[in-house]
Amino acid sequence: MKVQNIEAVAIEIPLKRNFGGSTYSVLKRCTVITRARTDEGLVSEVYNGDNREHGREIVRLIHEALAPRVAGMDVLEVERAWQAMFQLTHASGDRKTLLEAVACVDCALWDLVGKARGKTVSALLGGDRDRLPIISIGGYYMEGKTLADIGREMEAYRAAGMMGCKFKVGGLAPEEDAKRVEAARKAAGPDFVLVVDANRGWNAREAIRFARSVEHLDIGWFEEPCHWYDDVALMARVRQATRIPVTAGQCEITSHGVRRLVDAGAVDFVNFDVSEGGGVTDWRRAAEICRTAGVRMAHHEESQISRQLLAGVSHGTYVECFADPDRDPVWQAVWANRPEIRNGMMEVGTEPGFGIQLDWKLVERFRIA
């Protein structure tokens, strides 16, 4: 069975308000949809990324640079296809965007492999879990938001069936953000998973001050605590100074970057993002690096993909989503067969491949390329 052709579509959906963390703003929800077809009629259907600026460029790269490289290959030759695409990074001036495009194609090929073999991607990776715990990303900074509003937000996540929340910090002084986290814990209760994400907002001293002030709140992990320019060394310092586990990896674009985090003793969890890092083929390499080092795997967003990956490895943890309907209309509406969330758990699904079905009327409505 051969890869016949590949098409990609970029969509952008404006959001009703700014969902910002400590170092960024989010005003629209963007993603790239990839469909690969075989000469025997199988069609993949996946979407990747929360890309906010360059969906058109990713589509161009897929059509002009990547699709010609894999057309005609056997669908089972995913490693060969990945290597053919990755070769382009050596001469690329924008490796990050190119690897996002590679991720789209690679995930589409894994979807085809699953459909060809009648297995989920989780099963292809060797996993057997049928559901995973799910947490919502939240705690965004918004003008006029009070501690009482934070409490109501946590209650809303509980009502939506979430097991926990990944809460944004790093945008204020450590003491002020500690008050916000304390309000979240008080409202959510002791059995609610609460992890925090600074999005590289602090230096090491500030991160340590914050961590020590919230250790008593049973924080599951402290994600990306320190500034980007020396994050590995700074995170290792934070990890040594606090009982809270440290998490990072979403900003890495290869499994080699994950190895750098692990070798430095900087992390307890890695949340390498399949859509940023070249797809499933390289994600499983990162997962193996972490397994042998005793580091657990999380995943940055992308529950439509990550549910299969995290269920496919023994050291996978929480699936992440945006439970606020205003933050992720793709998750809420465009993913047409998204499983219901019950009692803090998300079904992995039994459909072959990634098992994704999309609402193509909405896709065409928000299509930009």
Mean pLDDT throughout 110-130? 97
140 and 225 belong to one structural domain: yes
At 140, which amino acid appears?
Answer: Y
Establish if 130 belongs to a structural domain. Answer: yes
- Name the token pair of 257: 């970057």
Distance CA(6)–CA(58), nearest Å, equals: 13
Average pLDDT over residues 326-340: 96
pLDDT (0 to 100) of residue 20: 81
Is residue 80 located within the same domain as residue 113?
A: yes
Radius of gyration from C-alpha coordinates of the chain: 20
For residue 107, pLDDT over 80 is answered with yes
Residue 173 maps to which CATH number? 3.20.20.120
Q: What average pLDDT does this structure show over 5-23?
A: 93
The pLDDT value recorded for residue 52 is 72
Percent over 90 (pLDDT), the chain:
96
Query: Do residues 314 and 265 both lie within one domain?
Result: yes
Give domain status of residue 223, yes or no: yes
**pLDDT tens track for 174-183:** 999 999 999 9
Residues 93 and 136 in one domain: no
Cβ-Cβ contacts under 8 Å for 296 (sequence gap 6 or more): 268, 269, 270, 290, 315, 316, 317
User: Do 100 and 134 fall into the same domain?
Assistant: no
Mean pLDDT of 61-74: 98
At residue 22, the pLDDT reads: 86
* Per-residue confidence (pLDDT) for residue 25, from 0 to 100: 87
Q: What is the CATH number of the domain that holds 64?
A: 3.30.390.10
Q: Is the pLDDT of residue 284 over 90?
A: yes
Q: For residue 100, what pLDDT is reported?
A: 97
The answer to whether residues 78 and 91 belong to one domain is yes
For residue 315, what are its two tokens?
A: 């050291």
DSSP letters spanning 160-209: TT-SEEEEE-SSS-HHHHHHHHHHHHHHH-TTSEEEEE-TT-B-HHHHHH
Q: Are residues 20 and 55 in the same domain?
A: yes
Per-residue pLDDT of 16-54, as tens digits, reads 999 988 888 899 999 999 999 999 999 999 999 987 789
Rounded percentage of the chain residues whose pLDDT exceeds 70? 100
Give 288's pLDDT tier (boundaries 50, 70, 90): very high
Read off the pLDDT of each residue in 244-262 and give the average, rounded to a whole number: 98
**52-61, 70-79, 159-168, range with the lowest pLDDT:** 52-61
* CA 209 to each of CA 111, 133, 219, 240, 243: distance values in angstroms, whole numbers, following the listed order: 45, 30, 14, 13, 12
For residue 263, give both structure tokens: 């070798």
**Do 63 and 133 fall within a single domain?**
no
**What average pLDDT does this structure show over 271-292?**
97
Same domain, 138 and 248: yes
For residue 95, pLDDT over 80 is answered with yes
In a domain, 353, yes or no: no
Alpha-carbon distance of 251 to 6, in angstroms, equals 27
| Angle of helix 78-86 versus helix 280-293 axis, rounded to 10 | 100
DSSP code for 329 = H
Token pair of 334, please? 């465009």
Contacting residues for 146 by C-beta, under 8 A, at least 6 apart: none
In a domain, 219, yes or no: yes
pLDDT of 135 above 90: yes
What sign does the dihedral 225-231-235-237 (CA atoms) show? negative
Are 46 and 34 in contact by the 8 Å Cβ rule? The answer is yes
Does residue 148 belong to any structural domain of this protein?
yes
Closest of 233, 224, 176 to residue 201, by C-alpha: 224
- Average pLDDT across the chain, whole number: 97
The per-residue pLDDT for 36 is: 98
Closest CA to 34 of 250, 255, 353, 365: 353
237 pLDDT more than 80: yes
Same domain, 163 and 187: yes
pLDDT at position 219 is: 98
Residue, of 149 and 18, whose pLDDT is higher: 149
Residues 115 and 159 in one domain: no
DSSP 128-157: --SEEEEEEEE--B-TT--HHHHHHHHHHH
How many domains, the chain? 2
Query: What's the pLDDT band for 129 if we cut at 50, 70, 90?
Result: very high
Q: Is residue 330 part of a domain?
A: yes
In a domain, 352, yes or no: no
45-54, 226-235, 247-256, 330-339: least confidently modelled range = 45-54
Say whether both 171 and 91 belong to one domain: no
- The reply to whether 196 falls in a domain is yes
pLDDT of residue 80: 98
- Residue 309, C-beta contacts closer than 8 angstroms, at least 6 positions apart: 121, 122, 125, 274, 280, 283, 284, 287, 297, 299, 316
The DSSP bridge pattern shows strands 193-197 and 164-168 to be parallel
Domain hosting 24: range is 3-119+358-365
Please state, as a whole number, how many other Cβ atoms lie within 10 Å of the Cβ of residue 346: 25
Q: Give the DSSP H or E segment for 258.
A: helix 255-263
| d(C-alpha 120, C-alpha 37), whole Å | 18
